[in-house]
Amino acid sequence: MKPSAILASTLLATSMFVAPSLASAAEINVYTTREPALIAPLIEAYTKSTGTKVNTVFMKDGLAERVASEGESSPADILMMVDAGNLVDLSEKGVTQAVESSVLSSAIPAELRDGKGHWFGLSYRARVLYAAKDLDLASFNYEDLADPKWKGKVCIRAGQHPYNTALFADYIAHYGAEDTEKWLAGVKENLARKAAGGDRDVAKDILGGICDIGIANSYYVGLMKSGKGGEEQAKWVEAIKVILPTFKNGGTQVNISGAAVAKNAPNKAEAVKFLEYLVSDEAQKIYAEANYEYPVKAGASIDPIIASFGELKVDGKPLSEIVGHRKQASELVDKVGFDN
């Protein structure tokens, strides 16, 4: 190819991407590990009511590294994450800043946000039990997963997945590492198949006769049952019922999705406004209705599908403590060969 052609294609490529630094005032930039389809309804509603343009880029692994590497030149205003651990990681890496807002602190219960205002939980979900519909089972404890009577009947995604390490970390918070290791080895013994795939596979595999019970997130049931996942998933979810499991001496394990304001946010004021919008009645309703999550704001209504699981009793161990046990949980997963 001729040099001129190369130059032309490079210029074309560059011109396609609007440089964020040229952005006008009423704009905010969001780095998110929350999937685009889940935040799109919130952003659309926000832009419609305020006129503020919201630029997003969705990433999975490495968001914290990217913001840290970009340093003071980073265009990021808001960092959205889907796991309490990730939010804590961000603040520990020093890429967030403290925000003082009476709107945020009055809307979000203290245990679902950082004490210094470095991150805020915006919605939460429960790690629940999917069980075959005709199974004679009305209540369940996480401890039961290791009960030999479930041998060859349990489905779960990879033990190293953050959804599971958070649950195992909660177990450590309750019982300590030694008992957790024994429990994990017991659960491993009970697995019907490799610990792999996603949460919805639990429902699919229960329909497929591979297993009887499994652990998965609450909101997937809403997505499948509402028909938003298509006809086939509606069939999968017909095969299961949902039980809110608890720890014997506690409640159901939950995890949050949330956001932080980036340390070098070029549009801090706008960013805080956006966060405040996310805890408004309108946004909290979207979280509940479009994403089937539990809203953080007291009094906000829950989607009927999710409400049908029964009263959620959130486990009392503080998020900050659970987050501290993640590394150990991950090491135990390796130790018992959970994913082998």
Partner 1 sequence: MTSFNSSSCDGPSPVNIVIHSGQPVATPVNARRGLRSGRTWLLLAALAALMVSLPVLGLVLEAMKGSTGLWAHLFSTILPVAMVDTVILLVGVGVVTAVLGTTTAWMVTAYDFPGRRVLEWALLLPLAVPTYIIAYAYLDILHPIGSVQGAIRWMLGYESPRQFRLPDVRSMTGCIFLLGFVLYPYVYIPTRAMFLTQSGNLIDAARTLGVSRRAVFWRVGLPLARPAVAIGVALALMETLNDVGAAEFLGVRTMTVSIYTTWITRTDLPGASQIALALLLIVVALVGIERWARRKQRYATDARRSRGLTPQKVATTKGLVFLALGCLPLLLGFVAPAIYLVTEAWKRYRFAGLSPRILDEAVNTIVIATVATVITILLGLVIAYAARIRPGRKSATLLRLSSMGYAAPGTVVAIGVLIVLAGLDRFIDRTALDWFGVSTGLLFMGSGAAVVYALTVRFLAISAGGIEAGLSRIPHSLDHASRTLGQSVSGTFRHVHLPLSKTAISAAALLVFVDCVKELPATLLLRPLNVETFATHLYGEAARGTYEEAAIAALAIVAIAILPVVLLSRVGSNRSAAG
> Where in 13-42 is the site for partner 1 (CB under 8 A)?
13-14, 16-22, 29, 35-38
Residues 263-282 touching partner 1, rule: CB under 8 A, are none
- Residues 295 and 125: their CA atoms lie apart, in Å, by 9
Pairing, β 154-155 against β 213-217: parallel
Q: Considering the rule CB under 8 A, would residue 94 count as an interface residue with partner 1?
A: no
Residues 205-244 touching partner 1, rule: CB under 8 A, are 205, 207-210, 220, 223, 229-233, 235-236
Contact (CB, 8 A) for 303 and 292? yes
SS (H, E, C) 38-72: HHHHHHHHHHHHHCCEEEEEECCCCHHHHHHHHHH
φ/ψ (deg, to 5) at 289: -85, -40
Shortest Å, Cβ 269 to partner 1:
18
Q: Which is closer to partner 1, CB of 208 or CB of 316? A: 208
Q: Considering the rule CB under 8 A, would residue 307 count as an interface residue with partner 1?
A: no
Q: Which is closer to partner 1, CB of 10 or CB of 106? A: 10
Q: Which of 42, 46, 52, 75 binds partner 1 (CB under 8 A)?
A: 75
Q: Considering the rule CB under 8 A, would residue 165 count as an interface residue with partner 1?
A: yes
- Residues 325 and 33: their CA atoms lie apart, in Å, by 22
What amino acid is encoded at 123 in this protein? S
Q: Considering the rule CB under 8 A, would residue 339 count as an interface residue with partner 1?
A: yes
Longest dimension (CA), the chain: 72
Q: Which is closer to partner 1, CB of 108 or CB of 167? A: 167
Q: Which of 141, 160, 226, 280 binds partner 1 (CB under 8 A)?
A: 160
Contact (CB, 8 A) for 125 and 294? yes
Q: Considering the rule CB under 8 A, would residue 200 count as an interface residue with partner 1?
A: yes
Q: Which is closer to partner 1, CB of 144 or CB of 199? A: 199
Q: Considering the rule CB under 8 A, would residue 72 count as an interface residue with partner 1?
A: yes
Task: Count other Cβ atoms within 10 Å, centred on residue 66.
Answer: 15
Q: Which is closer to partner 1, CB of 115 or CB of 230? A: 230
